[in-house]
Structure 1
C-alpha cells in the first residue's frame, strides 16, 4: 500500500512549518511549558482587556512552546489569529500596520482613562511616557511586504 504523503487537514497549505529548536532538559521543559500556557492565557485576556498586551504575550508563549511543547507551538503557528503575527515576527520582526494602529488606539485610550481616573498626576505621566516609548519602537518595526 502506498504511503499517504498528503498534508493533514489541520495544517493549511502554503504556510511553512514552524521552526524547530534543540530540546532542553525535562525540568526546564516543564517550566517553559507552564510559562507558555501562562503567557497564552494572558495574551488571550489581552484581547479583551485594554492595557494588557496580546502580541507580546503570544510571542513569549510561542518562544517557550517552541522549546517545551512542539504540539502547542504548532497550534500557535497555524492558528488563524495568532499564526500570522508569529510568522511575521519569525520572518524578520515584522509587525503589520493594522497591529500598530490597534496598539496605538488601545494605548491612547488607556492614557485617557488614566488621566481621568488617577489622582496622582505622576502615575499617568509615567505610564503614558512608557507607552509612548513602546509605540515609538513599534512604529519603527518593519512591516510585512504586501502580497
Structure 2
C-alpha cells in the first residue's frame, strides 16, 4: 500500500485504538484482550501491512488471531475467561446496587454475548 488516504488513516487510528484497549485488557481483568487484538489486526490489514504481520507473528496474540481468521473459533480457555469476566462484571454491578433497569439491561446484553461466545467453535473442525 502506498500513500495515506483519509480512509487508510481512519483504519490505522482504529487499529491503534483497538490495540491500546487490548493492552489495557492485559492488566484489567474485566476488559477482554482477544477481541480488541482481532479488531486491531482487521484494521491494520486495511492500513498497515507491517503492523498486521507483526500481530499475526506475535507469540501471544498471533495464534488467537489466526484461529479466528481461519476457523472463526475461540479457544476453550478464552471462552471460559470471557464468561468469568462477564460474570464478575455483573457481580460487581450487583454489589454496587445499580438500578434494577441497569442490571436487567446489563444482564441481557452479557447473556447474549456469553451465548454467542460459547457457541463458537473451539478450534479447527475435524
Q: Same fold (TM over 0.5)?
A: yes
Alignment partners' CA distance in 2, 1:23 and 1:117: 51
Match of 2:102 among 112, 123, 131: 123
4+ aligned runs moved over 6 Å, structure 1: 22-25
Instruction: Report if aligned partners of 1:43, 1:55 keep a CA contact under 8 Å in 2.
Output: yes
| Farther-moved stretch of structure 1 (129-138 vs 119-128) | 119-128
For structure 2, which runs of at least 5 residues remain unmatched after alignment? none
* Alignment correspondent of 2:7: 28
Q: Kindly report the root-mean-square deviation, in angstroms, between the aligned alpha carbons of the 2 structures.
A: 1.9
Pair 98,76 (structure 1): closer, same or farther in 2 beyond 3 Å: same
TM-score, normalization by structure 2: 0.89
Q: Which has the higher helix share?
A: 2
SS, match of residue 95 in structure 1: coil
Match of 1:69 among 32, 48, 51: 48
Pair 100,24 (structure 1): closer, same or farther in 2 beyond 3 Å: farther
Structure number with bigger Rg:
1
| Farther-moved stretch of structure 1 (54-63 vs 81-90) | 54-63
Instruction: Report if aligned partners of 2:64, 2:74 keep a CA contact under 8 Å in 1.
Output: yes
Q: Are residue 141 (structure 1) and residue 120 (structure 2) matched?
A: yes
Instruction: Report if aligned partners of 1:29, 1:68 keep a CA contact under 8 Å in 2.
Output: yes
Pair 84,23 (structure 1): closer, same or farther in 2 beyond 3 Å: farther
RCO comparison, higher one (Cα < 8 Å, 6+): 2
**What is the deviation of 1:29?**
1.1
For structure 1, which runs of at least 5 residues remain unmatched after alignment? 1-21
Instruction: Give the aligned length.
Output: 125
| Farther-moved stretch of structure 1 (102-111 vs 137-146) | 137-146
| Farther-moved stretch of structure 1 (54-63 vs 118-127) | 118-127
